[in-house]
Amino acid sequence: MTKYFAIFKTIVSSSTVYRFGLFFDTFQSFLTPTFILLALSFAKSSSLQANTLWPYYLVVSILGPIIRPNVHDQLYDLTRTGDVANYFTRPINLYGYLFSYWSSHKVINLIALSPVLFPISFFLPNQSSWSGILILPLCFILYFNLAYLLGLMSFWLDEFWAISNVFDVIVIILGGILLPYQFFPTWFNKFIFLTPFPYTTNWLARTTLVPFAATEIATAFFWIVLTFIVILFLQSRAFRHHSVIGG
């Protein structure tokens, strides 16, 4: 446990040194939703009002820096440079290191965003959205597992960034980051809940509008466990497949 706490302290230390970076990291996720909302507030619609979308987009913006780790790209860097070999032997394993690295980052982002997050939550339409705090770690772990699983592909693929882009596009669309599910056709809304993606971002954003069902927690748990099992299976194969030449 001490070694994971040491990682946390390192991340806190780097975040306090590069404070401008922390500001950039949190500020960026507000850009796209803000511009979409501004554009839509000028546009006209018979079925949707732009001002009903702001709680959703606000939560999506806040969630970006809190629950979406860039672990797949980091894994790619580690495999490309051969640094991943440092984690093949104990005292620290790769999953544990990356999990503590990114969870520390996200905790710091959560603390940085809390002066905005807490006052805003009082103005959200669904006041039980406070319970969303409980499902926040689940969303983070599920996203982390999905991204980690994808990152393991970098042990086999040369042009990993391309697959990483496809993953990002899938998460942006299916996670409801670009547009809420009201924009999509009915068949899409039936299909989407068969995938893990609604439980990454959309789930929490929806709690600002309607309370979440207990069954959703069970489904999120199911996806977390399933992805973790696949990670264990793939990771051992990935490590065996890895080779580093040169120094």
Site for another protein, rule CB under 8 A: 17-18, 20-21, 24-25, 28, 31-32, 35-36, 38-45, 47-48, 50, 157-159, 161-166, 169, 172-173, 178-179, 183-184
CB of 147 to another protein, least distance (A): 16
Q: Which amino acid is at 169?
A: V
CB of 135 to another protein, least distance (A): 26
**Nearer residue to another protein within complex by CB, 181 or 228:** 181
CB of 176 to another protein, least distance (A): 12
CB of 185 to another protein, least distance (A): 9
Contact 199, 219 (CB under 8 A): yes
- Residue 129 CB partners (closer than 8 Å, separation 6+): 121, 207, 208
Structure tokens at 156: 């086999």
**Nearer residue to another protein within complex by CB, 184 or 239:** 184
Structure tokens at 175: 């996670």
Residue in the structure block whose two tokens are 């939550």: 121
**Nearer residue to another protein within complex by CB, 15 or 145:** 15
The secondary element (H helix, E strand) that includes residue 80 is helix 71-81
Dihedral sign of CA atoms 55, 133, 220, 169 in order = positive
**Nearer residue to another protein within complex by CB, 41 or 195:** 41
Structure tokens at 117: 């997050």
CB of 155 to another protein, least distance (A): 15
Contact 40, 183 (CB under 8 A): no
**Nearer residue to another protein within complex by CB, 132 or 175:** 175
